[in-house]
Chain A
């Protein structure tokens, strides 16, 4: 099998190198495909470039000269203008079945930074789509990537690898906020502080349909920056209490060295609407909300520690599913390889069957011509019998060919069959 993957991932290569080798924009990808097609004609290829990996998949017909990792590394060096010796030691390569296994592991998120994360499936699909758009796909790549998508789907349905959230923000929104609220479009989200994790939480909340975002920060400029980025409004720190009273979801991530809200204050600011259900996500360390706030009716307070615990439990549950996921990857790799080699020998099989059935048909015509008294029913019986004989005689050599194809293209056997049965190229 003439298939090669050259890659660098978060597990093998530092970010400083990965980002220099990445194909960050669609324009860069278009240029890359153009140069690759020019440099390696008659080659099927896919470029997969994400923040965690840069991978080049190339495939050629069996009888063509194989591409080698140095050739592709040279291309990367020239395209990105990075000296070869600065990254060549960080690259990894796999060929044949190992390349297939690598892709199937990547798409199943077994090679991801966060085990079971779903984004990689879309990233691989997108890479495949872009490759197709740029004429990079042929029969091998099509079969390979369709097999990859099937593998990922099997891993996700037959294992629990993707179950349970593993990042604090996703657990907070997915496991808890969504268990409280049915929809978020009419909810007021208050962000106190301007931490990175608050922004990540906002991303998840936005995905759920949040529209009304209020950002309060000691620095109004920073609040305004976040508000602009997420389509919200910035409010001065002095209005924090008013905002606390009107919010349904509160995400707090200030750098305060002691809690800024206690139960007494919270009760006072919500006196006008004390029955409002509130979800508070306290991402501050030390905490921004005193723990007694969580004891109030209709208030659900979560801090980083309790979310971390959930993340850890989910992570452990996912790790327990790795073996089953690898088993699926192995099955699908074997399926691809077997299919690939079966196709390679398929031509000989069809020609052999065509020849033998052709001979039998000619002989039967001659026989029926000599025996005109045979009626339609008798002819049919004779035809069926001869067909069965031909099939039975062909069965052993074809089975042998099929067995051999499981291990690789059976060149020896194919040549032998061609010579024995006079099959012309």
Chain B
């Protein structure tokens, strides 16, 4: 299999972001194509990287480590970016999506890359738990980007400004609708992810899997999940939701959730608190065994 490193796709993503930035001033078809090509090339490289690590760990990428989990999240975000850019090349989503993707990829370098052996024993539940969480978080991430796009467009319209250069932003009505759907989809997924996580922790009490109740990442995620749940209920109970208020709430809560997830993982790794279990082993060693 092709040997790739994080630098390969990180460089591609940086180039794609640069192309998006350049298009702010000089919007040409070539710039758009280059952004897509760099994005797609990075995605391919990242796919190889994740598969490579997965084959060494003998676990799906979602389960192998926090490092891989963040990279899977970034991978989903790139996929969403490519889809949106191919369907609407002038949406301006790349300008907000790439910084988030880059932060995820860079953060992945600072979190543990040790595998979680314990999940090997409950592989199906583990995959379900991690997939729900990653998809839910991707929805949150999308909601975050959409709400920023909404606020950007709202500010422009209130100030009666024309967009500098040929960049176009999606209209408020569409952004609001997509944002609403992103949250309404993400929260149930996150809920399922959190619930399955609790299920796994109950096994821990039986002595099969170590407990996660004291894990700061889990506690932080739980708090933000409650926040998102509140937003979800509020959205469902509104007859006509005021767009700017929804966008502001979404931007804050989603931003908080992302910062919490990524920040806590980086922090716990930095100060040596293992998010996971003592049974975790570095991937390199696992590969040798």
A300 to B155, CA, bound (A): 10
Q: Given the complex of chains A and B, what is the CA–CA distance between A27 and B32 in angstroms? A: 48
Q: What CA separation (Å) do A298 and B240 show in the bound complex?
A: 12
A40 within 8 A of B: no
Q: Cα distance A294–B171 when bound, in Å?
A: 19
Report A-chain residues with C-beta under 8 Å of the C-beta of B156.
179
Contact partner of B173 (CB less than 8 A), chosen from A160, A176, A180, A273, is: A180
Known contacts A160-B166, A163-B166, A179-B157; is-contact A275 B241 (Cβ 8 Å): yes
Most-contacted residue by chain A among B153, B169, B173, B177 (CB, 10 A): B173
Using CB atoms, name the residue of chain B closest to A273: B240
A272 to chain B, nearest CB (A): 11
Confirm or deny: A297 has a beta carbon within 8 angstroms of a beta carbon on chain B.
yes
Tell me the minimal C-beta distance from A94 to chain B in angstroms: 35
Determine whether the beta carbon of A277 is less than 8 Å from that of B173. Answer: yes
Verify if B242 is at the interface (C-beta below 8 Å from A): yes
Asked if B162 and A277 make an inter-chain contact with CB atoms under 8 angstroms apart, the answer reads no
**When chains A and B are docked, how far (Å) is the Cα of A314 from the Cα of B165?**
11
Q: Mark A268-282, 1 if CB is under 8 A from B, else 0.
A: 000001011100000
Chain A positions within 8 Å of B169 at CB level: 179
- Binary interface encoding of chain B residues 158-175 relative to chain A, with 1 for a CB under 8 A from any of its CBs, else 0: 101010001001011110
One digit per residue, 1 when the CB lies within 8 angstroms of any chain A CB and 0 when it does not, for chain B 134-161 equals 0000000000000000000100111010
B240 proximity list for chain A (CB < 8 A): 273, 275-276
**A263 CB to nearest chain B CB (Å):** 15
Instruction: Determine how close the nearest CB of chain A comes to the CB of B187; give it in whole angstroms.
Output: 22
Do B160 and A297 touch across chains, with their CB atoms under 8 A apart?
Answer: no
Q: How far is the CA of A302 from the CA of B177 in the complex (A)?
A: 24
**A310 within 8 A of partner (CB):** yes
Q: Are B242 and A297 interface neighbours, CB within 8 A?
A: yes
Contact A176 B174 (CB under 8 A): no
Per the bound structure, the CA–CA distance linking A179 and B157 in Å amounts to: 8
Q: Is the CB of A297 within 8 A of B244?
A: yes
List A contacts of B243 (CB < 8 A).
277, 298
A180 near B244 with CB under 8 A, answer no
Instruction: Choose one: B162, B173, B241, B244; the contact of A181 (CB below 8 Å).
Output: B173
Check if B157 sits within 8 Å of A176, measured CB to CB: yes
Give the chain A neighbours of B157 by CB distance below 8 A. 176, 179-180, 300
A279 to chain B minimum Cβ distance, whole angstroms, is 9
Judged by DSSP, the binding face of A is mixed
Residue of A nearest to B239 (CB): A275
A298 vs B158: C-alpha distance when bound (angstroms): 9
CB-defined contacts of A176 to chain B, threshold 8 Å: 157, 160
Closest to A274 in B: B242
Q: Decide if B241 touches A179 in the complex (CB within 8 Å).
A: no
Q: A176-B157, A180-B171, A182-B173 are in contact. Are A310 and B242 (CB under 8 A)?
A: no
A178 is an interface residue with CB less than 8 A from chain B: yes
Q: Which residues of B contact A294 (CB under 8 A)?
A: 158
Contacts of A78 in B (CB 8 A): none
Are the C-beta atoms of A298 and B171 separated by less than 8 Å? no
The total of chain B residues at the interface (CB under 8 A) is 18
B172 to chain A, nearest CB (A): 5
Q: Roughly how many angstroms separate A181 CA and B166 CA in the complex, as a whole number?
A: 20
> In the bound complex, how far is the Cα of B241 from the Cα of A180, in angstroms?
15
Residues of B within 8 A of A310 (CB): 160, 162
Contacts of A175 in B (CB 8 A): 162
B166 neighbours in A (Cβ, 8 Å):
160, 163
- CA–CA, A88 to B156, complex, Å? 52
**A328 vs chain B, min Cβ distance (A):** 16
Q: How far is the CA of A179 from the CA of B155 in the complex (A)?
A: 12
Within 8 A of A (CB), among B233-289: 240-244
Q: Name the residue among B153, B166, B169, B171 with the largest chain A CB count within 10 angstroms.
A: B171
Which residues in B have their C-beta under 8 angstroms from that of A273? Answer: 240
Binary interface encoding of chain A residues 9-40 relative to chain B, with 1 for a CB under 8 A from any of its CBs, else 0? 00000000000000000000000000000000
Contact between B171 and A182, CB atoms less than 8 A apart: yes
**Residues in A169-223 with C-beta less than 8 Å from chain B:** 175-176, 178-183
Contacts of B173 in A (CB 8 A): 180-183, 277
A313 within 8 A of B: yes
Minimum CB–CB distance from A1 to chain B (whole Å) comes to: 36
- Determine the chain B residues whose CB is within 8 A of the CB of A359 once the complex forms: none
**A178 contacts B171, CB within 8 Å?**
yes
Most chain A Cβ neighbours within 10 Å, of B162, B173, B240: B162
Docked Cα-Cα span, A176 to B158, in Å, equals: 10
Q: Which of A332-391 contact B (CB under 8 A)?
A: none
Q: How far is the CB of B60 from chain A (nearest CB, A)?
A: 38
CB of B172 within 8 A of CB of A313, answer: no
| Chain A residue, CB-CB nearest to B173 | A182
Contact A181:B171 (CB < 8 A) given known A160-B166, A176-B157, A313-B162: yes
- In angstroms, Cα B160 to Cα A302, docked, is 7
Contacts of A183 in B (CB 8 A): 173
A297 to B240 alpha-carbon distance, docked (Å): 14
Q: Quick check: A179 and B177 within 8 Å, CB to CB?
A: no
Q: Give the docked Cα–Cα distance between A310 and B159 (Å).
A: 12
Whether A306 sits at the interface, judged by CB under 8 Å, is: yes
> What is the 8 Å Cβ interface bit string for chain A, positions 33-73, against chain B (1 contact, 0 not)?
00000000000000000000000000000000000000000
Q: Do A179 and B153 touch (CB < 8 A)?
A: yes
Bound-state CA distance A182–B243 (Å) is 13
CB distance from A42 to the nearest CB of B (A): 45
Instruction: Tell me if A277 and B160 are in contact (CB < 8 A).
Output: no
| 17 A/B residue pairs, CB under 8 Å, sorted by A | A163-B166, A176-B160, A179-B157, A180-B157, A180-B172, A180-B173, A181-B171, A181-B172, A181-B173, A182-B173, A183-B173, A273-B240, A275-B240, A300-B157, A300-B158, A302-B160, A313-B162
- Chain B interface (Cβ within 8 Å of chain A)? 153, 156-158, 160, 162, 166, 169, 171-174, 177, 240-244
Which A residues have a C-beta under 8 Å from some C-beta of B?
A: 160, 163-164, 175-176, 178-183, 273, 275-277, 294, 297-298, 300, 302, 306, 310, 313-314
Counting from the closest, the 7 A-B pairs by CB-CB distance are A182-B173, A182-B174, A306-B160, A275-B242, A275-B240, A310-B162, A181-B173
Supply 7 further A-B pairs (C-beta < 8 A) apart from A176-B160, A179-B156, A181-B171. A163-B166, A176-B157, A182-B171, A273-B240, A275-B241, A275-B242, A298-B244
